[in-house]
Amino acid sequence: MARNLRVLFVASEAVPFAKTGGLADVVGTLPDALKDVGAEVRVLMPYYGMVKQGKVPTDVVAENLEGYLGGTPLAFNVRTPASGDYPFYFVERDEFFERSQLYGTPRGDYFDNLERFSFFCSTILPVCQNLGFQPDIIHCHDWQSALVPVYLHHRWQEADVLKRVKTVFTIHNLAYQGLFSKEKFPMLGLDWSLFGINGLEFYDQINLLKGGIVFADAITTVSVRYSEEIQTPEYGYGLDGVLRTRASSLHGILNGVNYQEWSPENDQLIPAAFSAAKIAGKAKNKTALMKAFNLDPKLEKAPILAMISRLADQKGFDLVAAILPELLAQDLMVVILGTGEEKYHRWLAAEAPKYPGKLGVKIVFDNALAHLMEAGADMFLMPSRFEPCGLNQMYSLKYGTIPIVRATGGLADTVAPADPAAGSGTGFLFSDYTPEAFAAAVNAALKAFKNQKQWRRLMQNAMSQDFSWERSASAYLNLYKLLLAGQD
């Protein structure tokens, strides 16, 4: 193809405009990386209250276009950033999107999320028609945009502008599926025949994610291992059967890391820069980290084990709780930064005073502190129950903070098992989701730490890993090309 491939991303969040999770990083970062390999990407997302109030002013580029809810037409505007090089378009309909949050408040999800996001999906056709944008690929992300492939098959078959388009649907986390009561099905504007086992029905409810899985031309997950795992009952959240039927169209493409932001050589948020060649600077960060968490200066030579995480069941905090007393009986320090479920807030608040100078806990979202922890700690804990990709272990590798991870999803794909005596590998892995298996991995790491020469070697191995966006972008581009060539 002589001209650049044209891609439309449809997503519910993207940095720098609106973010609740890793999805926003992917959607905000991948377009630039794709541009570098020769694709022209535009991103369509809702015009949330936080976009409206954000730093980037926008202009209306199309007014009074017509989306729909069920069979009812509903008007909307399209906006773009007034200046700068952002390839973004925003769907403006305040009734749905001018809210304080994206999906709900701490008290629960917004009651009309099905209406909000099915309307959002309905806008794709009028946006492309009105802006004269004829995409080759529409790339949808997570349940909020999963109706687009369904509409392409069942509402928009006659639309010229989308006639030859192929769809990619990326699952960033299978645990979030967009489940709604079947009474709302008429809101989708689809025939009831699609509410069935081969359509959007899931145990008598509507499952929007399933629509994306069934009707997209290709499905991707954010690591290869996760794409395999979700085809099993243990990880499939009830969708493993459907995913198996699409196995030949299911691909894993690992997320990248933004090394502009996350590399110890040029990190503006840490007290001392360092690199594999000049590793001494890491010690200064350790001292600063110990201060930040009020850790006992006498333990300076002992390792710091860090954890930065959403406080959610997915992340393996029950395993951490199970081994913590035994762990902290040794000469070491543990620092934990996270926010999330109330039960974990209470648990951590109760644990911290029991181990003064050894256990540091901060229940806040603090990006600068996250950088300091990556820079100053010696080891990083990620005992996740499941992990679609995971970013922190990749950051840890770059900062020479040896990851101790469960061998699942993206963790298994990015951390190579260490053999300290042989000088190979980048981290410590365990398979069984049990406190014993986790403790064994931690103990292996602690043992290796005692031989600083061997440990240095592991740090060097870890720091030389490269998980840049360039690699991911090339993999997506290849997939797009395969689809357009009719080979997938």
| Site of interaction with ligand ADP (CB under 6 A) | 21-22, 308-310, 337-339, 365-367, 370, 389-392
Query: What is the closest distance, in whole angstroms, from the C-beta atom of residue 38 to ligand ADP in the complex?
Result: 28
CB of 225 closer than 8 Å to CB of 234: no
Q: Which H helix or E strand runs over 80?
A: strand 72-81
CB nearer ligand ADP, residue 254 or residue 272: 254
CB nearer ligand ADP, residue 104 or residue 297: 104
Query: Three-class SS string for 82-127?
Result: CCCCCCEEEEECHHHHCCCCCCEECCEECCCHHHHHHHHHHCHHHH
Query: What is the closest distance, in whole angstroms, from the C-beta atom of residue 10 to ligand ADP in the complex?
Result: 20
Query: What is the closest distance, in whole angstroms, from the C-beta atom of residue 341 to ligand ADP in the complex?
Result: 13
CB nearer ligand ADP, residue 309 or residue 401: 309
Query: What is the closest distance, in whole angstroms, from the C-beta atom of residue 182 to ligand ADP in the complex?
Result: 30
List helix spans (H) across 333-451. Answer: 342-351, 367-376, 392-398, 409-414, 435-450
CB nearer ligand ADP, residue 122 or residue 223: 223
Query: What is the closest distance, in whole angstroms, from the C-beta atom of residue 64 to ligand ADP in the complex?
Result: 37
Query: What is the closest distance, in whole angstroms, from the C-beta atom of residue 309 to ligand ADP in the complex?
Result: 6
CB nearer ligand ADP, residue 153 or residue 310: 310
Q: Give me the residue whose beta carbon is nearest to ligand ADP.
A: 22
Query: What is the closest distance, in whole angstroms, from the C-beta atom of residue 390 to ligand ADP in the complex?
Result: 5
Q: Residues, the chain, total? A: 488
CB nearer ligand ADP, residue 211 or residue 338: 338
Residue 192 CA to residue 194 CA, distance in Å, equals: 5
Task: Please name the residue that has the structure tokens 């979030």.
Answer: 176
Considering only CA atoms, give the Rg of the chain. 24
How many CA atoms, within 13 angstroms, populate the side-chain half-sphere of residue 266?
4
CB nearer ligand ADP, residue 1 or residue 364: 364
Here the contacts of 350-358 (C-beta below 8 Å, separation 24 or greater) are 351/324, 355/328, 356/296, 357/294, 357/295, 357/296, 357/299, 357/333, 358/295, 358/296, 358/299, 358/328, 358/332, 358/333, 358/334
Task: Residue 298: name the closest of 287, 284, 309, 308 by CA.
Answer: 287
